[in-house]
Amino acid sequence: MSYLNLKDEDTLKVVVELNILLANYHVYYQKLRSNHWNILGENFFDLHAKFEDLYSDARIKIDEIAERILTLRYHPMSKLEEYLKVSSIEEGASTKSDSDMVEETLDDHKKLLKQMSKVIKSANEISDEGTVDLIGGYIRALEKSSWMLNAWSKETKDNLKEATVEMS
């Protein structure tokens, strides 16, 4: 694999972690579609659009993760049965409240971020800068989406922590 300056035996651990991330994203994607279809109530318009944004983004990431695995010269996992077996994200009920949908989505974000950290760690071990760069961007975007969903779930009277800077 001279065009990457990486050896197949070194990239295997990265590919395993990427396949788990791919599985997580597939389950996450389907849960977002379900939320998009099944949202009801006064927050319908906001959350219907937000879930569509999130699943559209997830669909792109699914393709990019699979293509990164192919770039590393392995076949990506591609069976639903395999995704459900290895994913840390579980299928959810199709009927739940809007706040439960947001809370579950935030929990799924934690799981995605945890798996992304595993991918980054294994990629750093072999100096796989392409994977590190790809996943680093995903982390930044998912953290921002998480912040926004978390803000949606707060009361307007809630406050963030304050940082103080002492001047000398």
Query: pLDDT digits over 21-36, tens only?
Result: 999 999 999 999 999 9
Q: Which of 5-9, 69-73, 101-105 has the lowest mean pLDDT?
A: 5-9
Angle among Cα 151, 160, 35 to the nearest 5 degrees reads 15
SS3 content of the chain, % helix, strand, coil (to 5): 70, 0, 30
SS3 167: coil
- The pair of structure tokens assigned to 25 is 């994203």
Place 1 in a pLDDT band, splitting at 50, 70 and 90. very low
Residue 2 domain-assigned?
no
Residue 19 domain-assigned?
yes
Number of domains within the chain: 1
Residue 66 domain-assigned?
yes
- pTM equals 0.92
- The pair of structure tokens assigned to 42 is 């006064």
Higher pLDDT, 142 or 8: 142
Residue 62 domain-assigned?
yes
Quote the pLDDT of residue 2: 65
